[in-house]
A and B are shown apart, each in its own frame.
Chain A
Amino acid sequence: MIGCAVAWRLSGTAARVTLIEAAHDLCEGASKGNTGIATSGGDCHPGTLELELVRRSSPGWEALCARLDTPFHRIGTLAVALSEEDEQRLPELLRDAQDTGAAAEVVTGDQARALEPLISEGARAALHFPDDGIIDSIRLTIGYAELAARNGVEVLRGAPVRSLARDGDRIVAVTAGDRRVATRSVVNAAGVEADTISRLAGGEEFRTWPRQGQYWLFDRELGGRFRKVVGGVPTPVTRGIYCVPTTNRSLLLGPTAVDREDRTDRAVDAETLDHVFDAAQRLVPSIGREHAIKTFASNRPASDPTYRIAVDAAVANLVHAAGIRSTGVSSSPAVAEMVRGLLEGLGLPVGDQRPDAVTELEPLPRLLGHPSPEQLFARDPRYGQVICACEQVTTAEIAAAHGMAVPPTSLEGVRKRTRATGGRCQGAFCLSGVSFLHSLHAGRRPQGIAVSEPDATLGVGADDA
């Protein structure tokens, strides 16, 4: 998210930019595993850089998402008080929220149920943040990178950074995968691995670690009925579990927050999932497990301090954008702008937009819910061929994804760009069709196409591919 946002922000300037990603695709870490809430800041702490950047980002979402072909809806959040104790904390939380500058109001239980009829009869009152939004964080990340690539940013995927070559107090080149990239400056937006990059560069010693969150995803028939993001009353320890109607209309429950050591572990466990489900069901009693379509875990980057956005103390041309914990979606445009400012201060030509810079992506229409399928079919008859029936994804959309400047290189990449296989049957119906299409577009035999990373092939015996 942050790396792609920075690449996007710099891509319209005179700077030459290379975006380096260790995984096989963009948006493989916290960017694809988060609630997709774009907070307006009411739950952040006054006086922090985090709040400042969230507040700077919040008003611009409608305009930015329109330019990046990313779904966004400012639907608001209800923090619901179910107990007397919760209710008593609301006035204090309201004052805190008002200190942040975000819009907030305390509403009665009845008012809360009028705003979101699905919440529990037991809701006594709620704190309402009307300016919070929901965003498709995957499309946002990919949109940032796509626009960056259209503006000439070179995107290296599957290219873990091996070393950073120094000359005095400056980095002069980055070796990533099998490429050596000469550079005047480096931005460290490596998420959970930000500490590794700093160490490789000989920069400041700090520690980042994974904070694991587990989630449930529910059928879009259920999510489509929600009007608001619904959460509990935050405690000093945690913001708790949210029920988030996503921009895809599915319903997301989560996350948990557990600090871990293993950076690659994304395992879910039954006990934690039970806890998440129970917490969500207390808020919205009509949620039933029979409508669950997926469970997953992701690691967001934790660090101390958070929001380390600064030039390194030892390496003069290394800019950290690290420890952007769980608010990375919400603050990403302002973080990108702040990083641009730091780079300008280092003398990089990133002050002015190039007159020829592309500033928006042409929207790719989707069949699902489209008001005029006739118009789509007239534009491209491949809109008549639905491949993924649950999400109603057509061959036109899959072809368009493969025609992007940063195309998918795996089935997971196809899902992230099109939603194909991401619906209620999780590919039980369409995965073979999607696989053959991806195989055709990617020019690889079906056996050898990747589910995710290149060695995670769909078929075994792919060596003859």
Chain B
Amino acid sequence: MPDRPLVAIVGAGITGLACAHALRDVADVTVVDRIPVPGGVHGWEAAETRELARACRAHMRLGETAIRWDGLALLAIGQDGPQRMEAAALVIATGARPLGRAELGIAGGRPAGIVAATVACHLAENGLLVGRRPLIVGGGDWAMRAAGELRAAGAERATLVCPDGLLRERPVDDGVHVRERDRVVSVAGTPRVRTATLASGETLGCDAVVLAHGVAALRNVDGAVWAGDRAVYAQPLADPATVERARAAGAEAAAAVRSLIDQEERP
């Protein structure tokens, strides 16, 4: 259909796909994702991913990384080189990550072995264990997943230190210990982390500290990191990251895009 507004969505997870789906009758939508498969954290295996990917009727640019937005066009780059896509609106649906060390206020030295849960899990899935006695900061999805993956990859024991308490059911695993309502205030060790000191004053031995607490938006498109011209952010900062929340965020972003477009079209 000619003359329909162009909309670019970065992120082919459930949020981005749900947004594309909600806009399918009013805009020509392009979805960009750096991973060559739709689904984001929920994966292609999730029934909703396949359903939305089929039904949204969007152009898919998978395996391309969106790098810049100037309010008029999105620049993405991939195996076919840079692609400039004009768009009346940009939707950032690039998901979330756990908080980093500075964000958590963990003082102390800079030993090796302090890793984000996202990384620890990815490495564990590939057979690389970041610690035999990891201390995992967090009590939500990322923390549970990290505990499970690291134990499965051979960790002798994992200790969850949960600043906001345990947000999930206590794991049924003798090798997983839980410290509720406590947080890591500093780490020490050379060259690898050996101890972590908690707010309660206790010092625990460990050979890795896995950061799995809190939720921060992942934003990597220059020009749309804080507040971009005609940029809409669809990043549910919630733990757990459920399909329902993702769908709701996508629908909400679609509504914001529609009102942006309506404003543009008004004389």
Contact = CB atoms under 8 A, between A and B. Distances in A.
Interface stretch (A130-138, A141-149, A200-208, A379-387): A379-387
B43 interface: no
A456 to B, nearest CB: 3
A264 B111 CA distance: 12
**5 smallest beta-carbon distances between A and B, as pairs:** A456-B191, A456-B112, A428-B116, A451-B112, A386-B65
A452 B116 contact: no
B260 interface: no
Nearest to A378: B81
A428 B97 contact: yes
Contact of A293 (B100, B109, B211): B100
Interface string B64-103: 0101000000010111111000000000000001101111
B195 interface: no
B97 to A, nearest CB: 4
Contacts of A459: 123, 128-130
Contacts of A451: 112-113, 191
B81 A458 contact: no
Interface of B: 34, 65, 67, 75, 77-82, 97-98, 100-103, 105, 107-113, 115-116, 118-119, 122-123, 126, 128-132, 154, 185-186, 188, 190-192, 207-208, 211, 216, 218-220, 222, 225-226
Interface in A379-417: 381, 383-386, 389-390, 392
B110 A296 contact: yes
Interface string A417-454: 00000001111110110011000000000110011110
Contact of A386 (B77, B129, B131): B77
Interface string A265-292: 1111110010000000000000000101
A458 B220 CA distance: 25
A396 to B, nearest CB: 11
A392 B78 CA distance: 12
Given A373-B75, A427-B116, A446 B126 contact: yes
Given A267-B186, A453-B191, A459-B123, A295 B102 contact: yes
B119 A383 contact: no
A223 B196 CA distance: 32
A214 to B, nearest CB: 10
A290 B226 CA distance: 12
Contact of B110 (A266, A390, A392): A266
Contacts of A425: 97, 100, 116, 216, 218
Contact of A384 (B78, B109, B130, B207): B78
B101 A267 contact: no
Contacts of A385: 78-79
Interface in A192-246: 216-217, 219, 221
Nearest to A222: B226
Nearest to A445: B128
A8 B100 CA distance: 37
Nearest to B211: A428
A60 B93 CA distance: 46
Contacts of B191: 451-453, 455-456
A287 to B, nearest CB: 14
A114 interface: no
B101 A377 contact: no
A152 B129 CA distance: 40
B220 A392 contact: yes
Nearest to A271: B107
Interface string A300-333: 0000000000000000000000000000000000
A352 interface: no
A113 interface: no
B84 to A, nearest CB: 9
B130 A460 contact: yes
Contact of B107 (A268, A428, A436): A268
B128 to A, nearest CB: 4
Contact of B82 (A374, A429, A435, A460): A374
B67 A386 contact: yes
Nearest to B100: A426
A367 interface: yes
B81 A374 contact: yes
B218 A429 contact: yes
B13 to A, nearest CB: 14
